[in-house]
C-alpha cells in the first residue's frame, strides 16, 4: 500500500485553525482559496461585460487611497462606474486575472436570489424556516426567514475566530475547508445545519447576531421553496453580471455551495458583479436577477452594527448606509455600490494578524470607498 499523509493545506494547527488560515499562510490561502478547498465548482458567463479604462486621477491622489494601497496587506482595488474603470491597482504578488477569496461578500448573492422570489410569491419572509425545512433542528425551526436574512437569530452557532471552540470551525469541516477528525464521519452542510439548537431564536439583545450558518440555511430554504438548485441561481448571477473569468465557489461533499463565504473572483469581476445592484436601480437588468424594490427596502432599515461602525445597518444580507449597499469579507475585503451615483468600489486585502479581524481597519476601507463613491 502506498504511504499517505493528511492533506497539509487542510490540516488543523494552532488555535484550531486550518493551515491555510494561519497568519503566516493566510495571504497564500486567500490568493489560492479556489484551489485549496476539497470541493469546488466554477461557473462562467455566456457573454462578458466589456470594461474600458477611463482613469480618474483624483482617486489615485487621494490620501486614503495612497495609504491603504501601500500597506503590506493590500491585494487589489478597482473603482467602476458603468463600464468605465476609474481606478485599478494591484499588489506585486497579485494581478488582474487572479481570483481572490471574497469570504463573506459571497453573502450578498442571497439578496439577489431572494428578492425576486419574494416578489413572485415563492418565498414568504414571515414564514418560519421549519415551514420549508421540516427536518431542521431547533436552532432555526421557529426563526422567520426575515430574521435569518437580517442576521437576527439566536442559537448555539458561534463565530468568534479567537475562540478555538467556536462552532464555525466545526462548520468548516462540512464546507470541505479542513480535515474532519474522523474521515468516515464527514458532515454535509445540511446535516450540520440541522443539528444546531436553540431554546429561543428571538434576538432580545438588539445587536447583530452574525452567523455564517444563516446564509447556508437560506440557501437550503430557497432550494426547498423553488425546487431549483442553489448552483443554478449562481449560474444565473454569473451570466447577468457578465463575468470575464470564472466564479469559483467551494461546496460540501455532495455539491451544496458554501453561500456564506466560499466564492472567489478577480477584482474586475467582483466590480462587474456588484454593478448588478446599480443596474437594478438605474437601468435594465435581467428580470430573474435581483429586485429593485427589495434592494430599496433593504436601504430603509436594518439591525445597527456596533461601534466602531458608524450609521451602518445589516438588512437582507447587505450592509447598508445612506445611498450605498455593500459587504465586508473576513480578513480585509470590501465591496460597495452607491445606488445614487452608480459608482462601485472593491478592495481586496489579507490581514496577517492572529485572527484576521480588525474593525478599525475595515472602517477605514469603508470610509475610503464611500468618499470615492460620492464624488467620482
C-alpha cell belonging to residue 350: 489579507
pLDDT in tens, 195-224: 999 999 999 998 899 999 999 999 999 999
pTM of the full structure:
0.97
C-alpha cell belonging to residue 132: 420549508
What pLDDT sits at residue 184? 82
Q: Could you tell me the pLDDT band of residue 2, with boundaries at 50, 70 and 90?
A: confident
From the list 325, 189, 307, the residue with the least C-alpha distance to 259 is 189
| Cis peptide bond prior to 181, omega within 30° of 0 | no
Looking at residues 263-279, what average pLDDT do you find? 97
Looking at residues 46-52, what average pLDDT do you find? 97
Looking at residues 152-176, what average pLDDT do you find? 96
Looking at residues 84-113, what average pLDDT do you find? 98
- Kindly report the CATH class assigned to 34-375: alpha beta
What pLDDT sits at residue 376? 85
List, in sequence order, every residue forming a beta bridge with 41; answer none if it has no partner.
249
Amino acid at each position: 500500500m502506498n504511504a499517505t499523509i493528511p492533506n497539509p493545506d487542510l490540516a488543523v494547527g494552532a488555535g484550531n485553525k486550518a493551515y491555510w488560515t494561519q497568519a503566516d499562510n493566510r495571504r497564500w490561502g486567500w490568493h489560492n482559496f479556489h484551489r485549496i478547498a476539497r470541493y469546488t465548482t466554477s461557473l462562467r458567463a455566456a457573454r462578458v461585460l466589456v470594461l474600458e479604462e477611463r482613469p480618474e486621477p483624483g482617486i489615485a491622489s487621494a490620501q486614503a487611497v495612497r495609504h491603504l494601497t501601500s500597506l503590506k496587506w493590500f491585494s487589489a482595488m478597482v473603482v467602476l462606474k458603468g463600464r468605465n474603470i476609474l481606478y485599478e491597482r494591484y499588489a506585486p504578488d497579485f494581478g488582474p486575472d487572479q481570483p481572490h477569496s471574497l469570504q463573506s461578500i459571497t453573502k450578498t448573492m442571497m439578496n439577489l436570489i431572494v428578492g425576486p422570489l419574494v416578489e413572485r410569491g415563492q418565498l414568504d419572509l414571515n414564514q418560519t424556516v421549519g415551514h420549508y425545512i421540516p427536518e431542521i433542528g431547533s436552532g432555526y425551526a421557529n426563526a422567520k426567514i426575515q430574521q435569518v436574512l437580517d442576521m437576527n437569530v439566536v442559537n448555539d452557532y458561534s463565530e468568534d475566530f479567537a475562540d478555538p471552540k467556536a462552532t464555525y470551525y466545526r462548520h468548516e469541516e462540512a464546507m470541505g475547508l479542513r480535515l474532519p477528525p474522523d474521515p468516515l464521519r464527514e458532515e454535509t452542510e445540511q446535516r450540520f445545519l440541522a443539528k444546531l439548537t436553540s431554546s429561543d431564536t428571538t434576538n432580545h439583545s438588539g445587536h447583530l447576531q452574525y452567523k455564517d450558518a444563516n446564509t447556508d440555511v437560506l440557501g437550503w430554504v430557497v432550494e426547498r421553496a423553488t425546487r431549483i438548485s442553489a448552483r443554478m441561481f449562481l449560474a444565473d448571477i454569473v451570466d447577468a453580471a457578465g463575468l470575464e473569468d470564472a466564479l469559483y465557489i467551494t461546496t460540501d461533499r455532495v455539491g451544496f455551495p458554501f453561500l456564506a463565504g466560499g466564492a472567489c473572483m478577480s477584482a474586475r469581476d467582483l466590480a462587474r458583479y456588484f454593478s448588478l445592484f446599480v443596474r437594478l436601480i438605474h437601468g435594465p437588468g435581467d428580470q430573474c436577477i435581483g429586485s429593485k424594490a427589495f434592494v430599496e427596502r433593504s436601504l430603509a432599515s436594518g439591525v445597527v452594527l456596533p461601534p466602531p461602525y458608524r450609521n451602518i445597518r445589516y438588512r437582507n444580507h447587505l450592509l447598508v448606509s445612506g445611498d450605498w449597499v455593500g459587504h465586508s469579507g473576513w480578513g480585509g475585503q470590501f465591496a460597495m455600490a452607491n445606488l445614487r451615483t452608480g459608482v462601485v468600489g472593491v478592495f481586496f486585502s489579507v490581514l496577517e494578524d492572529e485572527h484576521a479581524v480588525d474593525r478599525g481597519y475595515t472602517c477605514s476601507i469603508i470610509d475610503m470607498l464611500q468618499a470615492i463613491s460620492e464624488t467620482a
